[in-house]
Structure 1
Amino acid sequence: MAAASLDDVGRHPGNRSGNANLRWMLIHLVEETGRHADIVRELLDGAKGYY
């Protein structure tokens, strides 16, 4: 990632749009990690999060 630009576009046959840039991928990764961490926390303490 250090050598890539945030505007570089990735290609994958499984992706219908086929044109996600590195910026979108990283933001999506952070969002999904946050959601999963919140789910684990809810399972541990039983308290509901924002969603």
Structure 2
Amino acid sequence: MAEALAGGGLDQLARRSWPDGQAPSLRWILCHMIEEYARHNGHADLLRESVDGLTGE
């Protein structure tokens, strides 16, 4: 993150592009990664709750 921020910020485009030739911004990538991480944490909570029966924090 520090390197990306120092090298142009989150609005710079990724080095790799999608098959259609467009490249996402680093901001889009970061937001997408946070969203996916949160989604999988929610799935892990559901699995844990079904195994141990405990809910909440």
Please indicate, yes or no, whether the TM-score normalized by the shorter chain is above 0.5: yes
TM-score with structure 2 length normalisation? 0.65
Corresponding residue number in structure 2 for 1:27: 31
Q: Sequence identity of aligned pairs in percent?
A: 36
Q: How many residues align?
A: 45
Q: Indicate the structure with greater helix content.
A: 2
Q: Which has the larger radius of gyration?
A: 2
Higher relative contact order (CA 8 A, sep 6+): 1
User: Structure 1: where are the runs of 5+ without partners?
Assistant: 47-51
Find runs of 4+ consecutive structure 1 residues off by over 3 angstroms: none
User: Structure 2: where are the runs of 5+ without partners?
Assistant: 51-57
